[in-house]
Amino acid sequence: MSQPKNPKRLESVPLVTVVMPAYNAGKFIREAIESILNQDFKRFELIVIDDCSRDNTYRIAKEYEKDLRVRVYRNGQRLGDAKTRNRILARARGKYIAPHDADDIMLQGRLKYQCDFLEQHPAIGVVFGKGIVVNEKLTKILFPIVPANNDQTHVNRSRMIGKLPLAFNHGTALIRKKYVLRAGKYESSLPLGVDARLMRRIFRLTPFYFLNKFCFVYRRQMQSICRSRLRESLDSMRKIFSLPEKKRGAVLTFLINGKWIRIRAQSPALAKTLRWRLNFYAWLAHRRKRRKNEKIIDFRPKDHMEWGHLSDQDRFLEGFLRPFAATLLRSGKVIVDAGLVSCHDGGVLIFAEKKNRDEAMLSFLNRDFFYHSSGNPILYQRHGKFYGESFVDPLTISTPAVSINARADSWGQFWNPILGKYCLNVCFYRTYLIGKQCQISKVLFIQNVAEARVARTRKISFTEAYSLYARACGGPGAVETLKTDCIVKKMLRQTQSFLIKGPQEKLKQAVSKFNPCR
């Protein structure tokens, strides 16, 4: 067997590239870098790119370039986390990629045992371990980052992961670089959650393997971007219930899809419902004050209605949805009772009973589809094509609880005291960051047939599709319904419609196999 021409040069080629974007991390970056350089594994390179920090991050990182394994760069302008990570990937020489934030600490042995495993198992694309979440000063362990045997994360006996969790932390992972590149690298159009979306794409390309070892310490900063936004959103929700009834204003202002809405709610019960359901849009209105030239739409719900005796859903329907739908009809737009997701090939409108629709939505979201609405999307026609638009939907999809404590919030979900159940966290799926509209290309009907043995998927004609729609929506009645019916009928003529039909227990599996992008 022939020997390599230069064995020393072969040893100097890094096997692993540690990716470290940095922004205002001067307080922590020294600990982060030293935890990497002190690893017992030596065949790695550390690439740090400072994203125009306003502190001494760049100067501290530069001190470590004396070690030939460290390369430090600085962006000419602020690019953001995703583009900075992609710049590091473009410079990476390693066969494997180890993401590591500038405020985290790598535990001893992490690179060695993860790299050894991937070298011995070429069929595995990603290996990951456990992490520890600590407070900013490293004085208190908050909780571990571990996969669990439940509906959110499934690790089988062979330690292969069967389902990617909602909030997979890629700081615990070592990834083959070829899969990062094949998955399209980090998506710079999203301000938050770029790591989670990348790992979802990689999950569809290669198996993930779990090594039951702690590999890094995640420092939870009090001022982190994601934490600040989540805290601000949750605080605004809590204030809804902490205000005394007498101090709750009867005039509520919201900024919804670029439109200013003012509702004169005479009933405290109606005000409470609207404040909860539309809390995010009230926050938007508070953040951006209305300009003088911007019009405002006034709603005055019926004074004679006994709002306190109505359910929360009926109060929202009568006090907001129907008046707003009547306003939309004047501009040729309608609200439909359906779910709406999209991929790069277009939007998918989902008509089904609430439970089946929610399960279908979750199935699409776990396959990296974009979320638009789980119940009230806006439908309209423009230049001969039909579009769906995100609408008021802060409650998103009801999901099973994942915590022993029935009211403990968990990442990806929150407890809704009005509905009395868990809902998906809108911050995770970024419903207000990914774009408001999409062109409708497919319509999916899901029908539960108890006497059927298997669930089947087939393409259906316009006549059958319209019959299913009319049956689900109760058929035409009021003038508003007739106009909605007319727009939906035109949409069904121009788009492809599919039906998944079968027993309840088989529908979920059939939906997971349905690929509207083909």
Residue 415 — very low, low, confident or very high, per pLDDT cuts 50/70/90? low
- Residue 35 has φ and ψ, to the nearest 5°, of -65, -25
> Using an 8 Å Cβ cutoff, are 183 and 176 in contact?
no
pLDDT of 423 > 90? The answer is no
- For residue 69, the model assigns a pLDDT of 93
Query: Is the pLDDT reported for residue 517 higher than 50?
Result: yes
Distance CA(130)–CA(144), nearest Å, equals 7
**pLDDT at residue 452, as a whole number:** 82
Q: Tell me the average pLDDT across 310-322.
A: 79
Q: Which of 99-103, 305-309, 348-352 has the lowest mean pLDDT?
A: 305-309
**Residue-wise over 101-127: b if at least 16 C-beta within 10 A, else e?**
bbbbbbbeebbbbbbeebeeeeeebbb
- Coil, strand, or helix at residue 377? coil
For residues 493 and 461, is the Cβ–Cβ distance under 8 A?
no
pLDDT at 185: 87
Contact 57, 102 (CB under 8 A): yes
**76: closest CA among 65, 63, 90, 87?**
87
- State pLDDT tens for residues 157-190: 556 666 665 556 788 899 999 999 998 888 776 6
In this prediction, residue 6 carries a pLDDT of 45
The pLDDT value recorded for residue 186 is: 85
In angstroms, the CA 474 to CA 466 distance is 12
Backbone φ and ψ for 100, nearest 5 degrees, come out as -155, 120
Higher pLDDT, 428 or 213: 213
- Which single residue is written with the structure tokens 């970024």? 430
Three-state SS at 428 = helix
Average pLDDT over residues 435-457: 85
Sheet containing 421-424: give its strands across: 398-399, 421-424, 413-416
Whole-angstrom CA distances from 243 to 235, 271, 401, 494 are 12, 12, 28, 49
CA–CA separation, 172 vs 238, rounded Å? Answer: 33
Rounded to an integer, what distance in angstroms lies between the CA atom of residue 333 and that of residue 387? Answer: 10
**Could you tell me which of 100, 102, 88, 118 has the C-alpha nearest to residue 56?**
102
Per-residue pLDDT tens for 182-229?
988 887 766 566 787 788 788 888 888 888 888 888 887 655 544 444
Buried/exposed 291-319: b ≥16 CB within 10 Å, e otherwise: eeeeeeeebebeeebebeebebeebbbbb
What the chain holds in terms of domains, given with CATH numbers, is 13-219 (3.90.550.10), 225-329 (no CATH), 333-393+431-513 (3.90.228.20), 401-429 (no CATH)
Quote the Cα angle for 398-487-463, to 5°: 90
In 449-495, where do the E strands start and end? 456-460
- Indicate the average pLDDT of the chain: 77
- pLDDT for position 9: 42
Q: Which residues of 344-359 are buried (b: 16+ CB within 10 A; e: fewer)?
A: eebbbbbbbeeebbbb
- DSSP state for residue 92 in the 8-state scheme: -
* pLDDT for the residue 424: 60
CA dist., res. 444 & res. 433, Å (int): 25
